Each structure stands twice: as structure tokens, then as C-alpha cells.
């Protein structure tokens, strides 16, 4: 699949012979797996594509804090509360690494945040679904963080150094997130019939949106060919989605709950699970801003930004004072 994608990519992207000498040297370094660093020359389109991809990713991390942050005060035990707080805090940290990686490409964090708040850039559509019960926190960790890991592991090898290095640390933390989610599901599935039904209900609601997290089918994916040639997208959407299904179905079997998909079955010939058709209409509706929580999520972000203004001002005043005193860390 990947070989095939690169082949199509090489047909639709320019041949080395048609490139300027700078572009050719750039592509040859990428082909030789040399990382691109912030100060290196890079084509404008490479820079733009990365800014778009990294900022969408950064925004997804911080908007992703909202549906789960919503459950911190209602976590069923003190231990669960501490774990969930650590998890949500990690996501804030992921946003921080990624905004910093985007800034190395010459954009300011303030501008990126302003674009998010103005609705000009997207974040992962999964965070526009509501968290209705405690089991949703389990399903999110298990499925949403699980899908994020599947997407992000290949990015640790992507061509842009600052992004690749941020991903290494993020992926380590994501695997803790996935485990904590699965652990919540385990407890519920080993509990009362009512608790198990709650886990099943959460799976029913989060399964399809999780599959949509990998993006549109390869046939409709506009950016894949060039991004593959630049090694900023190393595996195709459909390939990652299939890997996720193959990994996750046995985990549901172990829990004793079932995916809400009557067409899901093991295909021995392919060596993969077949699964039913995804409702892409729903995906596009949510992307267009019509998901259950789009407006609420954005309004909460804007409010948090406005209410945090005094913290930013105080931090800046403190930094200036230290600089005036000549403190080394100033």
C-alpha cells in the first residue's frame, strides 16, 4: 500500500529533473533520511504543509483536554482523579511541544491560537463529541489515544527534526493514556451488569468516530502524495485505520464487549479484519462545525484564553524583571 502510494506520489509530484537545484538537494537529503532542521532551506509548500499539520495537531491536543477535563471532578475514586488529572495535563504539554515545533517554522503561537479561535483551522473532529458517562473516559483513552498512537508512531520518523523529536516524547505518554483508558474499561467490564452495559454503550458511541480519526479514504485524500514524498506522512489513512481495527478488535474480545459493526469479521485470506462502511457524511458534517459540541468547545477555549490573560501578563512582567536584573535564566 505504501509503495503504491509513493508511486502515485512520484507521478503527481515533480520529478527530480524538473526541480531547481535547491529543491533537488532538499529532496535528495529527505530520500537519504537526513532530518530537515529549522535553519535549513526548505520549499515554501513544505513549510506551509508542516505548519498546517503541526498546528492542527497542537490544537487537537489542547481541545482534547476539554471533554476529559469535564470528568476530573466526577472521577469515581481519588486514584482515578489523580490519574485523569495527570493525563489531561500531559495533553496540555503535548500542545506546548507542538506549538514550539510550529514556531521553529516562523509562525507565532499567538497567531496560531488566534486562527484556532477564529475557526480558521481545524482540530481533530473526535473532540466535538460529548463525554456522557464515566465509561466515555475509558473509551477515549482506549480508542482515541489508541488511534492517536497509531497515527503518531510513524511521525517519530518524519523528515522535520523538531516535529519528529516532539513525537518521540508524546508517543511515550500516549501509551500511558491508552493503558489508563483500557484499565477503566476492564474494571467496568468486570463489574456489575450495569457497569458492563455502560462500557458497551461508550464503545458503541466512540467506535465509528475513532475510525474517522484517520481521515478520509485514500482515494479522497488530497495531500497524501506530496506529503509521502516529503516523508511527513509515512503511512496512508486506510493503512493506519486497518492496523487500528486489527489491533483493537481482540482487545474488545478480551473485555467481552462488541464493536457496533455487524459487518466486522476476520478475513483469513487478507489476514485482516473486514469492517463496515464509515458514515463519511457524519464526518464532514462535524468538520463543517455541526457536531454535537463544536460551538461549546471553541467557546470554552476562547473563554480560557481570555481568563488566562493576567497569567500571561504576569509571566511576561516576571521575565522582564529577571532580564533587567541580569538573571541567567531571565
Residues in contact with Fe ion by the rule CB under 5 A: 61, 91, 94, 145, 174, 177
Cα dihedral 217, 146, 167, 87 sign: positive
Shorter beta-carbon distance to Fe ion: residue 124 or 294: 124
Shorter beta-carbon distance to Fe ion: residue 13 or 184: 184
Q: Minimum distance between the CB of residue 94 and Fe ion, rounded to whole angstroms?
A: 4
Q: Minimum distance between the CB of residue 87 and Fe ion, rounded to whole angstroms?
A: 7
Shorter beta-carbon distance to Fe ion: residue 26 or 206: 206
Q: Minimum distance between the CB of residue 251 and Fe ion, rounded to whole angstroms?
A: 17
Q: Minimum distance between the CB of residue 140 and Fe ion, rounded to whole angstroms?
A: 9
Local structure of 36: helix, strand or coil: strand
Shorter beta-carbon distance to Fe ion: residue 124 or 227: 124
Alpha helices by DSSP H, the chain:
2-12, 21-31, 44-63, 65-69, 78-103, 109-117, 134-139, 146-152, 161-189, 193-212, 224-229, 237-255, 280-285, 294-307, 309-325
Shorter beta-carbon distance to Fe ion: residue 174 or 261: 174
Instruction: Determine contact, residues 237/147, Cβ cutoff 8 Å.
Output: no
Q: Minimum distance between the CB of residue 148 and Fe ion, rounded to whole angstroms?
A: 6
Q: Minimum distance between the CB of residue 182 and Fe ion, rounded to whole angstroms?
A: 13
Shorter beta-carbon distance to Fe ion: residue 61 or 239: 61
Q: Name the residue among 323, 285, 225 with its Cα closest to residue 8.
A: 225
Instruction: Determine contact, residues 131/71, Cβ cutoff 8 Å.
Output: yes
Instruction: Determine contact, residues 30/36, Cβ cutoff 8 Å.
Output: yes
- Name the residue with cell 512520484: 10
Distance CA 95, CA 72 (A): 19
Amino acid at each position: 500500500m505504501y509503495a503504491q502510494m509513493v508511486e502515485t506520489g512520484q507521478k503527481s509530484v515533480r520529478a527530480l529533473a524538473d526541480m531547481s537545484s535547491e529543491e533537488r538537494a532538499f529532496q535528495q537529503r529527505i530520500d537519504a533520511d537526513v532530518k530537515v532542521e529549522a535553519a535549513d532551506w526548505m520549499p515554501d509548500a513544505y513549510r506551509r504543509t508542516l505548519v498546517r499539520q503541526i498546528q492542527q495537531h497542537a490544537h487537537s491536543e489542547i481541545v482534547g483536554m476539554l471533554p476529559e477535563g469535564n470528568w476530573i471532578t466526577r472521577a469515581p475514586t481519588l486514584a482515578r482523579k489523580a490519574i485523569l488529572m495527570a493525563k489531561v495535563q500531559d495533553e496540555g504539554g503535548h500542545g506546548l511541544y507542538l506549538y514550539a515545533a510550529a514556531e521553529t517554522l516562523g509562525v507565532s503561537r499567538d497567531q496560531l491560537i488566534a486562527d484556532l479561535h477564529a475557526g480558521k483551522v481545524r482540530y481533530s473532529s473526535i473532540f466535538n463529541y460529548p463525554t456522557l458517562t464515566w465509561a466515555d473516559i475509558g473509551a477515549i483513552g482506549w480508542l482515541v489515544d489508541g488511534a492517536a498512537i497509531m497515527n503518531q508512531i510513524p511521525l517519530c520518523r518524519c523528515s522535520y527534526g523538531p516535529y519528529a523529536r516532539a513525537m518521540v516524547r508524546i508517543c511515550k505518554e500516549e501509551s500511558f493514556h491508552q493503558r489508563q483508558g483500557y484499565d477503566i474499561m476492564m474494571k467496568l467490564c468486570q463489574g456489575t451488569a450495569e457497569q458492563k452495559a455502560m462500557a458497551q454503550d461508550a464503545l458503541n458511541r466512540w467506535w465509528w468516530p475513532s475510525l474517522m480519526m484517520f481521515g478520509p479514504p485514500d482515494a479522497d485524500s488530497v495531500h497524501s502524495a506530496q506529503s509521502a514524498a516529503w516523508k511527513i506522512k509515512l503511512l496512508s489513512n486506510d493503512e493506519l485505520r486497518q492496523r487500528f481495527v486489527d489491533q483493537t478488535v481482540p482487545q474488545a474480545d478480551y473485555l467481552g464487549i462488541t464493536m457496533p459493526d455487524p459487518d466486522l469479521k476476520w478475513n483469513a485470506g487478507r489476514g485482516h479484519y473486514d469492517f463496515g462502511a464509515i458514515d463519511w457524511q457524519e464526518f464532514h458534517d462535524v468538520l463543517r462545525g455541526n457536531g454535537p459540541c463544536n460551538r461549546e468547545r471553541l467557546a470554552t477555549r476562547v473563554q480560557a484564553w481570555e481568563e488566562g490573560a493576567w497569567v500571561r501578563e504576569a509571566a511576561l512582567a516576571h521575565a522582564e524583571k529577571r532580564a533587567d536584573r541580569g538573571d541567567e535564566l531571565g
